[in-house]
């Protein structure tokens, strides 16, 4: 989503660029792509990918920018070393939270803190059947909450990363509140079906592709009870819209976020019960694309591109 929206904004701002999909990575293909450009910006959460691209850029004398989509230092010894070396080689390492900046800053004084959230350029929408489903379930509910997951995944300790399963159990005990779970992968639906577990009436599970940004507009609070995180785009989306956020303290969270102790479901439940419509923060309308483009222009030694807004 970050890369997709960034490309949309760059096109609107008339910044010439080429997108190289890292899912189709090959050494020869990457080298050829790098040689066609003076500035290379690598977006990834893979230490290996960042290091390979950084080495290619250094060898070909191209300017290298890296956005690390994750929390620095979270890997094993070898991958952390790869990560650190990539940061040392980079002309502009961009990280997502203060913890990561503390690590990156000791390795490369050019490191910067920059959010991964990029607002959608054009209007998005929810399918009519999703809207109807939400309207049917919302009757009699005092507050609307939402949570999202990329897929049902576990961290290195075996804990569920997104905390959706214990979150559903919390809402099973509080029928006056509505929980909407966004899971385009459908893996949570498969989990509940395979275990013959009924979903509570006040929990709506959306198991196909949809606009989470539009879903957030219908909610009072976002819940993000993850065991690990970077700079969560969903949290930034919520803050951009003025939606309240309750999140785990597994990483530094932006100002305005209510935090609970990671893995402490009783603490999370208390925060949910104490949340009200009055807890919603004022919208934060930042767009990091303008800072990114300024960086591109700096390396290309060109005048800055005029800022573009969608508001």
**Mean pLDDT within 120-145:** 84
**Is pLDDT at 311 greater than 50 in this prediction?**
no
Instruction: Extract long-range pairs of 196-200: CB within 8 Å, 24+ residues apart.
Output: 199/168, 200/168, 200/171, 200/172, 200/175
Distance of alpha carbon 172 from alpha carbon 183, whole angstroms:
18
281 vs 81: which has the higher pLDDT: 81
Query: End-to-end alpha-carbon separation of the chain, Å?
Result: 20
Residue ranges per structural domain of the chain: 2-119+287-300, 128-279
pLDDT of residue 303: 58
Cβ contact 259:248 at 8 Å: yes
Looking at CATH, the fold of the domain delimited by 2-119+287-300 is given as: Rossmann fold (3.40.50)
Distance of alpha carbon 111 from alpha carbon 217, whole angstroms:
34
**pLDDT, tens digit, 9 for 90 and up, residues 134-189:** 888 888 888 999 999 999 999 888 899 999 999 999 999 999 999 999 999 999 99
Distance of alpha carbon 239 from alpha carbon 283, whole angstroms:
6
Distance of alpha carbon 112 from alpha carbon 127, whole angstroms:
38
**Of the candidates 150, 311, 108, the residue with the CA atom closest to the CA atom of residue 234:** 150
**Is pLDDT at 310 greater than 60 in this prediction?**
no
User: Starting from the edge strand earliest in sequence, which strands make up the sheet with 221-224, in order?
Assistant: 203-206, 177-182, 143-148, 221-224, 244-248, 258-260
Distance of alpha carbon 221 from alpha carbon 245, whole angstroms:
5
pLDDT of residue 28: 95
Looking at CATH, the fold of the domain delimited by 128-279 is given as: Rossmann fold (3.40.50)
**pLDDT, tens digit, 9 for 90 and up, residues 38-82:** 999 999 989 999 999 999 999 999 999 999 988 888 889 999 999
| H runs (alpha helix) in the chain | 2-12, 27-35, 47-60, 77-89, 98-107, 128-138, 164-172, 187-194, 212-216, 233-241, 265-274, 289-300
**pLDDT, tens digit, 9 for 90 and up, residues 213-268:** 999 999 999 999 999 887 888 999 999 999 999 999 998 898 899 999 999 999 99
DSSP string, 240-303: HHT-EEEEESSS---TT-EEE-TT-HHHHHHHHHH--GGGPPPP----THHHHHHHHHHHHT-P
* 26 three-state secondary structure: coil
pTM of the model: 0.74
**Of the candidates 131, 228, 130, the residue with the CA atom closest to the CA atom of residue 184:** 130
């Amino acid at each position: 989503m970050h890369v997709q929206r960034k490309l949309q904004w760059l096109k609107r701002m008339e910044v010439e660029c080429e997108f190289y999909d890292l899912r189709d990575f090959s050494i020869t293909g990457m080298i050829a792509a790098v040689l066609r450009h003076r500035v290379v910006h690598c977006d990834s959460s893979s230490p290996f990918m960042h290091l390979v691209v950084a080495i290619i850029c250094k060898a070909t004398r191209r300017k290298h920018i890296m956005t690390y989509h994750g929390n620095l230092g979270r890997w094993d010894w070898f991958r952390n070393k790869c990560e650190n070396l990539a940061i040392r080689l980079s002309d502009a390492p961009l990280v997502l939270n203060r913890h990561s900046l503390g690590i990156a800053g000791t390795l490369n004084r050019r490191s910067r803190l920059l959010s991964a959230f990029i607002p959608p350029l054009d209007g998005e929408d929810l399918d009519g059947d999703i809207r109807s489903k939400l309207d049917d379930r919302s009757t009699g509910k005092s507050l609307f909450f939402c949570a999202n997951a990329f897929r049902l995944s576990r961290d290195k300790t075996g804990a569920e990363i997104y905390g959706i399963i214990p979150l559903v159990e919390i809402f099973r005990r509080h029928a006056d509140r509505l929980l909407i779970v966004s899971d385009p992968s459908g893996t949570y639906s498969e989990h509940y079906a395979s275990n013959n577990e009924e979903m509570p009436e006040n929990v709506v599970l959306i198991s196909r592709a949809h606009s989470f940004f539009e879903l957030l507009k219908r909610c009072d609070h976002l819940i993000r009870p993850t065991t690990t995180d970077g700079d969560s785009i969903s949290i930034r989306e919520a803050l951009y819209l003025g939606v309240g956020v309750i999140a785990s303290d597994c990483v530094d969270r932006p100002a305005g976020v209510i935090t609970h102790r990671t893995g402490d479901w009783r603490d999370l439940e208390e925060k949910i019960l104490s949340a009200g419509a009055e807890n919603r923060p004022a919208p934060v309308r930042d767009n990091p694309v303008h800072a990114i483009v300024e960086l591109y222009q700096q390396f290309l030694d060109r005048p800055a591109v005029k800022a573009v807004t969608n508001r």
